[in-house]
Amino acid sequence: EAGVAQSPRYKIIEKRQSVAFWCNPISGHATLYWYQQILGQGPKLLIQFQNNGVVDDSQLPKDRFSAERLKGVDSTLKIQPAKLEDSAVYLCASSLTGLGNTIYFGEGSWLTVV
Amino acid sequence: GESVGLHLPTLSVQEGDNSIINCAYSNSASDYFIWYKQESGKGPQFIIDIRSNMDKRQGQRVTVLLNKTVKHLSLQIAATQPGDSAVYFCADQYSSASKIIFGSGTRLSIRP
C-alpha cells in the first residue's frame, strides 16, 4: 500500500516569497491533516480536512497560510509571504475518519526561509 | 486545557536493556492515546495506541501503560536495539474533536 506522498521534500526561499506544498494521502482516507514541526518540537496541527471540508483550522495563520483540498483527495498548503519563523517541516498525514483510526504521516517537506 | 507533556527530553539506555518513556497529560477527557516514533529526516511513525477504557496494551516489544488517576502514560520498549534510536512522541485525541495533540518528544539514544 502506498503511503502519504509529499513534495517537494526540500525548499529554500527568501523571506516574503511564496511556497506551496503538495500532498497525496493514502487512497480511501477521507481525513487529511497538515502539521507544522519546528526543530526540536512536536508536530502542531495547522489544518484538518474531512473530504474537501475544513474540520479544524484554528491554528492556521490565515493571514499568510492557506490550504485547500478541492476534490477531496490531494491537498496543497501555501505560504505567502513567508517569514523566517516559518522554517520548519510541514507534515501531511491522513487517516480513515473517526476516533481511534491510525494517522499515517508522509516524510515531510522541509522549508528553510532565509 | 489541551496539553501533553513528557518528563524528560532525552533518555540514554544500554543496548539490550528495557527503555521506559513517560508522558503526562492534562485533560481528563482525553479518550485515546498514541505513541509515535520519529527517526531523523522522517515523518512520525505509529507505534502503539490505547483507549481510555484500558490500562495496558502490548505490541511487539512495546507496552503502553495508562494511569488515568494521575494522568500518566508510559511506553516500555523491551530489549532496546540500536534501531530504536529516535524521538518518541506521545499524543492524545479527544473524542469530541478528533484532533491529535502532540507532546514535545523524548530523544532515545542507545549505548553500545
- Report pLDDT digits (tens) over A26-78: 999 999 999 999 988 899 999 999 998 999 999 999 999 999 998 889 999 99
Q: Please report which confidence band the pLDDT of residue B8 belongs to, taking 50, 70 and 90 as the band edges.
A: low
Cβ count near A11 (within 10 Å): 18
pLDDT at position B97, please? Answer: 54
> How near does any CA of chain B get to the CA of A93, in Å?
9
In angstroms, rounded to a whole number, what is the distance separating the alpha carbons of residues A56 and A46? Answer: 8
- Measured distance CA(B47)–CA(A70) in Å, rounded: 32
| Inter-chain CB proximity A99 and B93 less than 8 Å | yes
Mean pLDDT score, A82-104: 91
User: Residue B2 — pLDDT band, cuts 50, 70, 90?
Assistant: very low
The SS3 assignment for A69 reads coil
The minimum CA-CA distance between A105 and chain B, rounded to whole Å, is 6
d(CA B53, CA B78): 24
pLDDT category of residue B106 using cuts at 50, 70 and 90: very high
Cα–Cα distance list, B1 to A37, B27, B41, B42 (Å)? 21, 6, 31, 29
Identity of the residue numbered B66? L
A34/chain B closest Cα distance in angstroms: 12
User: Do the Cβ atoms of B78 and B64 come closer than 8 Å?
Assistant: no
Q: Closest Cα to residue A23, out of A74, A63, A72? A: A74
Report CB contact under 8 Å: A93, B101: no
Which pLDDT belongs to residue B1?
A: 34
In this structure, what C-alpha cell is assigned to residue B94? 479527544
- More confident of the two residues B56 and B28: B56
CA-based R_g, chain B, Å: 13
Q: Is B75 exposed, middle or buried (0-12, 13-18, 19+ CB in 10 A)?
A: buried
> What does the DSSP 8-state code read for residue A101?
P
Mean pLDDT of chain B: 89
Average pLDDT over residues B53-76: 95
- B101 contact A CB<8A: yes
Virtual torsion, Cα A5, A10, A16, A21, nearest 10 deg: -10
Mean pLDDT lowest among A3-7, B25-29, B89-93: B25-29
Determine the pLDDT at residue B38: 96
Cβ atoms of B96 and A97 closer than 8 Å: no
Contact A34, A23 (CB under 8 A): yes
Tens digit of pLDDT for each residue in B75-103? 999 999 999 999 999 999 876 456 788 88
Residues 6+ positions from A45 with CB-CB distance below 8 Å: A33, A34, A35, A56, A59, B99, B100, B101
